[in-house]
Amino acid sequence: MQGRRKRAASLRLKCGAWDGTVPPMRKKPMVQETAESLAGRQREISVSEFFLKNRHLLGFDNPRKALMTTVKEAVDNALDACEEAGILPQISVEIQQTADTRFRVSITDNGPGIVRAQIPKIFAKLLYGSKFHRLRMSRGQQGIGISAAGMYGQLTTGTSTRILSRTKGSKTAHAIDVQIDTRKNMPTILKDEESDWHPVFYQAAIDGKPVEPVTAKSGTCVTIEMEAAYVRGRLSVDEYLKQCAVVNPHLQLHYRIVLTRAAARDEEEGRKGSKAKAAAAEVAEEPAPGNDVPWTTFLRATNQVPDQPQEIKPHPHGVELGMLMQMLKNSPARTVRAALSQDFSRVSEKTALEICERAKLNPKANPTRIAHQESEALFKAIAETKLMRPPMDCLSPIGEAAIEAGLRKEIVADFYTAVTRSPTVYRGNPFLVEAGLAYAKPGDNADLTAEEPIRLMRFANRVPLLYMAGACSMNKAAASVNWKAYGLSQPRGSLPLGPMVLMVHIASVWVPFTSESKEAVAHYPEIIKELAFCLQECGRRLSVFLHKRQRLAEADRKRQYMELYIPHLALGLKDILDLKDRDEQALVKQLHTLLERTHLET
Amino acid sequence: MAKAPKKTPSRKPPASKPASASDDSRPRLVTRDEASTRIVNVGREVYTDVIKKNRKPTMRFPIRALSNVRYDIKRGHFEIRGKQATRTLTYNTVKTFAQSMRLLATTKKDLLDKQDIAGKREIYYNSKSWAECRFDEQPESDALLDDMEAMLGVNREQLGYIPEERGGEVTGPLIVVDRNATTGEVVKINCAKLGSGAWSIPSRVEHLSFDAKGAKFILVIETASLFQRLVHHQYFEKASCILISMSGVPTRACRRFIRRLADDQRLPVLVFTDGDPYGYCNIYRTLKVGSGQAAHINRYFCVPQAHYLGVTPQDIIDYKLEDATHPLEQADIKRAQDALKNDPFILHHKEWQAALHQMLKMGVRIEQQAFAKHGLNYVLEHYLPEKIKRQHFLP
């Protein structure tokens, strides 16, 4: 038996297809399941349990990414809350390393605050939120993010999520500790206190002079402790916040990270902290005293809160059959005609009638009945009917000026431009794309070298996307543009090379992400086409700039060349004609004028 | 004896002849002062353009190429036509312009004013003191010298530039009267009494005078080896001719020497080269009517009285030399076709067209030495005497 198994295994190994599992013992009798026995084990799966097992779907696949995702979800929520309340946002992000692989993340905002009753559900119930059921451009979509971050912290450290919140005009703030009951997807409140907490924002010193901390009247602070890792670089919290500042020029952002002494020392030593050393130091080291670590502040470039986008009804062309049935069933309207014109955008009474005629339906029929029996005909008729595009005021672009300001603020370069396209539609969802570009003179910006690919910053509804660049349609669109035509070198089928930062923004009521972790935008042809047009326009402007610069450099080169020989010409003439020095100088001057007139003016 | 083309041979004292005749036959002697004045005029024009007329200065010079020459039958050489190249001062020409000015200045100050001479290569090295204006390679300075020569209408020998190439050796019944350059003492060279050697033509020949009483014609030979054979057997005595070896395309000095000698002593000139397109179109044609490149000075350097003795394509057949030939190479064919299309000299002479067509048809070329097939001395015992007797020459 033993020998046979061994041989079987080695045989498989030889074949090179052994999948690592030991072949099942043949002797064990198979238990036959019955419908009844199966039924005993069949039960509901809570979304919390599902995401606990599939945490990579939410962006918690590794400790480093977990830290970034937590900050991202909290900052997104804070920004959405501030903007909806029309408050000029001020956000503070503090990360404190409590042990080698443990970090405490606190995000404070000056938003409107949250009423006591809602706090537990918002922070400890997955798929709970204000944004899922409406068609409106916002950063958050599903109501998963921050709860998932809390769940991740709870899973890895056993601690609870702490929320401090103060609404405007209230006498006290609430301090609540919650955990999530993953079985039931329900919050468990561990502590619920009144507190005199106020959101406080510490600002970086300007020119060495300390700036007084600012206290806000309302706001929320969420603190989560979790297992995580901090690594600098393109995929770090630092980069995320920097891009956030670029894309939200109205945001005042404060940030600091307090590492343990060991980690801080490792950082210093070439930033390659050996894990063994850090682990050894873990026991002895206390977290570094927080107060001496300076804050970094990303100052706001504009005091204009972006216009609040309007909420819209779904456009018929973006609705699928199942959803159409659902909407008809739930419609308060009495007739199909009324249901169509009231529940959808861009359907007038007249258009509704046209749709009904096309579907050979009685416009006065009960929508609930139609939903059950003739919805397919109706669906077909809708697809065949010409409709106006969905309203576009549901989108709030950053705007060309603001994009440029954001880039100028955070990136050292000598050419900036931005393009905002007018809105268009994919699958009935309005969307628009914007792009900005910062081109540095080679050598001026150490971060941007001429030999490396350009840096592409991707944003969806003003949220920076750091991961899964390769899978994103923004990346694909940027690579599909022929940048050679605009003066950059570009390896076939990839991003161009050059000292350039390219930022691309998609704003939509429903950004089609490839997964719940919102890292990449799906490849809709309409989106890629719009992106390409937008980038091409940026490219054309860049090319104008590069050509001009090239022309100037060329003129400079020519001038230098001519300046080299003009004195010789004059000297020759002086020798031939026995001129005086004064005449020679006049000659040189006049020759300059003559040559520059024809060669250097354009 | 071949009838020399009707030509007015010039006598030594130019004053005794009409100026035009003298102009035709010898370089109009330009004094150093006059050459200097011409340089100043060029400079003044540039200066006036810049300072007074406030416009970009230009330099004009005749285009020196076959496309800009015309075969002047009356004078018997390639005469330059009116086409001129203009070099306007621009970004692209500023360096050349500056170099031209400095070259003119050097020529005036160092050569003409100081009565000095310089070689082409010396001038190239002299430019190394001009900093960024220097010539990087000698061909650059050579080209500018040619430009200057054409622009001033003075050949460079008269500006004080001495050619570095020498070429041409002479033997035969001729006494050359030369002068010792330092003492001025008259030196007479008897070219008949040089033993097995020959007298080599100096780079400047204007001051020489001749006495060739015993000579009936001048035989110009392409290769040195055949020349040696004729000298070795004292052919010049037997045939009463002056032998001149060119060693390839004749140098300016050699051409000028033949011209002066032929004019002075009223001697016909016969040319004996390899029978190939290079021998016909480059060596012989250049000797007789000049070249495109030196179009502006052809009138001094041509030998209009020259006639072509051989080796002609017909000679290959007449002397049964078919098995002593070589197939024409691609370059030969191209050269011949080119000449048939573009060379004004060939285009003028039907005989030459026929000869070239015949050669192309036969597809072979022949060397002067090929007569050795019939015996080493066949060429001087049979070929040359027969040819000269029958006067079967090409124009």
Name A239's Cβ contacts closer than 8 Å, sequence gap at least 6. Answer: A233, A464, A466
Q: Is the CB of B52 inside 8 Å of chain A's CB atoms?
A: no
CATH topology for the B32-162 domain: Arc Repressor Mutant, subunit A (1.10.10)
CB atoms < 10 A from the CB of A452, how many?
13
Q: B114 at the A interface (CB within 8 A)? A: no
- The answer to whether A599 contacts B39, with C-beta atoms less than 8 Å apart, is no
CA distances from A100 to A106, A107, A151, B52, B97 (A): 18, 21, 20, 84, 75
Give chain A's mean pLDDT: 84
Q: Tell me which residue of A436, A463, A456, A432 sits closest to A530, measured CA to CA.
A: A432
Per the model's pLDDT, the better-predicted residue between A285 and A265 turns out to be A265
CATH of A400-546, one of 3.40.50.720, 2.40.30.170, 3.30.230.10, 3.30.420.10: 3.30.230.10
Q: Are B34 and B152 in contact (CB under 8 A)?
A: no
More confident residue, B246 or B296: B246
Complex prediction ipTM = 0.70
**Burial tier of A423 (Cβ tally within 10 Å: 0-12, 13-18, 19+):** buried
Report percent pLDDT > 70 for chain B: 92
Cα(B77)–Cα(A298) distance, rounded to whole angstroms? 87
Nearest to B243 by CA among B263, B264, B214: B214
Per-residue model confidence (pLDDT) at position B180: 83
CA–CA–CA angle A308, A473, A484 (5° rounding):
110
Residues of B in contact with A561 (CB under 8 A): 91, 94-95
pLDDT of residue B272: 93
Nearest CA of chain B to the CA of A441: how many Å?
A: 28
CB nearest to B102's CB, from A572, A591, A599: A572
CB contact under 8 A, A575 and B50: no
Task: Give the start-to-end residue ranges of the domains of chain A.
Answer: 51-117+142-267+293-298, 316-384, 400-546, 548-599
Confirm if A512 and A521 have CB atoms less than 8 A apart.
Answer: yes
**Per-residue confidence (pLDDT) for residue B16, from 0 to 100:** 34
Mean pLDDT of chain B: 85
Cα-to-chain-centroid distance, residue B54: 42
pLDDT per residue over B343-365, tens digit each? Answer: 999 999 999 999 999 999 999 99
Q: Which fold has domain A316-384?
A: Helicase, Ruva Protein; domain 3 (1.10.8)
Q: Which residues of A touch B133 (CB under 8 A)?
A: 565, 568
Q: Which residues pair with A439 in a beta bridge?
A: A415, A500
Query: Where are the extended beta strands (E) located within A364-475?
Result: 415-420, 424-426, 429-439, 455-460, 463-465
Cβ of B89 within 8 Å of Cβ of A591? The answer is: yes
Instruction: Provide CATH code, domain A51-117+142-267+293-298.
Output: 3.30.565.10
**What are the structure tokens assigned to A22, written together?**
């030991």
Q: Which residues of A touch B91 (CB under 8 A)?
A: 558, 561-562, 595, 598-599
Nearest CA in chain A to B93: A562
* Cβ proximity of B168 and B203 under 8 Å: no
Q: Are strands A90-99 and A296-298 parallel, antiparallel or unpaired?
A: unpaired
SS3 A533: helix
pLDDT band at A330 (very low <50, low <70, confident <90, very high): confident
Residue A291: its pLDDT value, please?
A: 59
Q: Active-site residue among B47, B91, B125, B308?
A: B125
> Does B177 score more than 80 pLDDT?
yes
Using CA atoms, how far apart are residues A426 and A597, in angstroms rounded to an integer? 54
**DSSP structure class, residue A398:** -
**pLDDT band for position A601 (cuts 50, 70, 90):** low
CB distance from B340 to chain A under 8 Å? no
What's the pLDDT score for residue A19?
53
**pLDDT value of residue A475:** 92
Cα–Cα dist B287/B150, whole Å: 20
- The Cα B129–Cα A498 span in angstroms is 43
Domains A51-117+142-267+293-298 and A316-384 share a fold: no
pLDDT for residue B70 is more than 60: yes
Highest mean pLDDT among A124-128, A269-273, A539-543, B126-130: A539-543
Report how far residue A209's alpha carbon sits from residue A277's, in angstroms, rounded to the nearest whole number. 37
Q: Which of A568, A542, A555 is nearest to A487 (CA)?
A: A542
pLDDT tens track for A228-281? 999 888 888 999 999 999 888 899 999 999 988 877 777 666 544 444 444 444
Stretch among A436-445, A531-540, B17-26 having the lowest mean pLDDT: B17-26
DSSP notation for B192-210: T--TT--EEPPS--TT-EE
- Contact at CB, A587 and B101, closer than 8 angstroms: no
User: Which tokens sit at A12?
Assistant: 């498989």
Q: Which residues of B touch A563 (CB under 8 A)?
A: none
Distance, CA of B261 to CA of B170 (rounded, Å): 11
- The Cβ of residue A447 has, within 10 Å, a number of other Cβ atoms equal to 11
Q: Which of A452, A444, A458, A435 is nearest to A412 (CA)?
A: A444
CA–CA dist A201, A132 (Å, integer): 31
Give the distance, in angstroms, between the CA of residue A125 and the centroid of all CA atoms in the same chain. Answer: 23
- What is the strand order of the sheet B199-200 is part of? B199-200, B169-171, B241-245, B217-221, B269-272, B306-310
By CB atoms closer than 10 A (0-12, 13-18, 19+), residue B389 is exposed
Q: B279: pLDDT confidence band, cut at 50, 70 and 90?
A: very high
Sign of CA dihedral B158, B160, B161, B165: positive
> What is the residue extent of each domain of chain B?
32-162, 169-390
Residue A282 pLDDT more than 70?
no
Question: B98 touching A, CB under 8 A?
Answer: yes
Please, are residues A67 and A104 in contact by the beta-carbon 8 Å criterion? no
Tokens found for residue A123: 């922070």
Give the pLDDT of residue A600.
62
B89, B99, B105 member nearest A575 (Cβ): B105
C-alpha distance from A509 to closest chain B C-alpha (Å): 59
Range in A81-85, A280-284, A564-568, B388-392 the model is least confident about: A280-284
Q: Which long-range contacts (CB under 8 A, 24 or more apart) does A546-553 make?
A: A546/A439, A546/A486, A546/A487, A547/A487, A550/A487, A551/A602
| Interchain contact, A572 vs B104, CB within 8 Å | yes
For A576, the closest of B55, B94, B105 (CB atoms) is B105
Domain B169-390 belongs to what topology?
Dna Topoisomerase Vi A Subunit; Chain: A, domain 2 (3.40.1360)
Determine whether B125 is an active site residue.
Answer: yes
Q: Are B254 and B201 in contact (CB under 8 A)?
A: yes
- CA closest to B48 among chain A residues: A587
**Location of structure tokens 């067509």:** B357
Asked if residue B253 has pLDDT above 90, the reply is no
**Shortest distance, CA B107 to any CA of chain A (angstroms):** 9
- The answer to whether B43 contacts A573, with C-beta atoms less than 8 Å apart, is yes
CB contact under 8 A, B98 and A594: no
The confidence score (pLDDT) of residue B278 equals 92
Q: Looking at residues A559-582, what average pLDDT do you find?
A: 89
Name every chain A residue with its beta carbon within 8 A of the beta carbon of B56: 594-595, 598
pLDDT higher than threshold 50 for residue A403? yes
Which of B36, B37, B46, B50 to mutate: most A Cβ within 10 Å? Answer: B50
Chain A contact for B159 (CB, 8 A cutoff):
no
Q: What is the mean pLDDT of residues A106-133?
A: 86
What average pLDDT does range B107-121 have in this prediction? 86
More confident residue, B230 or A40: B230
- A163, containing H or E segment: strand A161-166
Q: pLDDT band for position B10 (50/70/90)?
A: very low
Buried b (16+ CB within 10 A) or exposed e, A283-305: eebebbeeeeeebbbbebbbeeb
How many CB pairs lie under 8 A apart between chains A and B? 89
- Chain B residues 11-50 within an 8 A CB cutoff of chain A: 39-40, 42-44, 46-47, 50
Q: What is the three-class DSSP state of B190?
A: strand
Compare B261 and A371 and report the one with higher pLDDT.
B261
Which tens digit of pLDDT belongs to each residue from B193-216?
A: 888 888 988 887 888 899 988 899
Which candidate in A568, A580, A587 is best for mutational testing of the B interface (most B CBs within 10 A)?
A568
B169-390 and B32-162 share a CATH fold? no
d(CA B151, CA B173) in angstroms, rounded, equals: 40
Report which secondary-structure segment, H or E, holds B32: helix B32-47
- 8 Å CB contact of A577 and B89: no
Integer Cα distance of B213 and B172 in angstroms: 11
Q: What percent of chain A has pLDDT over 90?
A: 28
Are B233 and B196 in contact by the 8 Å Cβ rule? The answer is: no
Residues of A with CB under 8 A from a CB of B: 558, 561-562, 564-566, 568-569, 571-577, 579, 583, 586-587, 590-591, 594-595, 598-599
* Best to test chain B binding among A562, A565, A599 (most B CBs inside 10 Å): A565
**One-letter identity of residue A199:** P
In sequence order, what are the residues at sequence separation of 6 or more whose Cβ sits closer than 8 angstroms to the Cβ of residue A492?
Answer: none
The 8 Å CB, 24+ separation contacts for A416-423 are A417/A538, A417/A541, A417/A542, A417/A545, A418/A538, A419/A534, A419/A537, A419/A538, A419/A541, A421/A530, A421/A533, A421/A534, A422/A392, A423/A392, A423/A395
Asked if A175 and A191 count as a contact pair (C-beta separation under 8 A), the reply is yes
**Mean pLDDT along residues B70-91:** 83
Please give the sequence-ordered ranges of beta strands (E in DSSP) within A408-541, or none if there are none: 415-420, 424-426, 429-439, 455-460, 463-465, 500-508
Q: How far is B150 from chain A (nearest CA, A)?
A: 18
Report the alpha-carbon distance of residue A500 to residue A450 in Å, rounded.
8
Residues 117-146 of B with CB under 8 A from A: 130-133
Structure tokens at A363: 């416009």
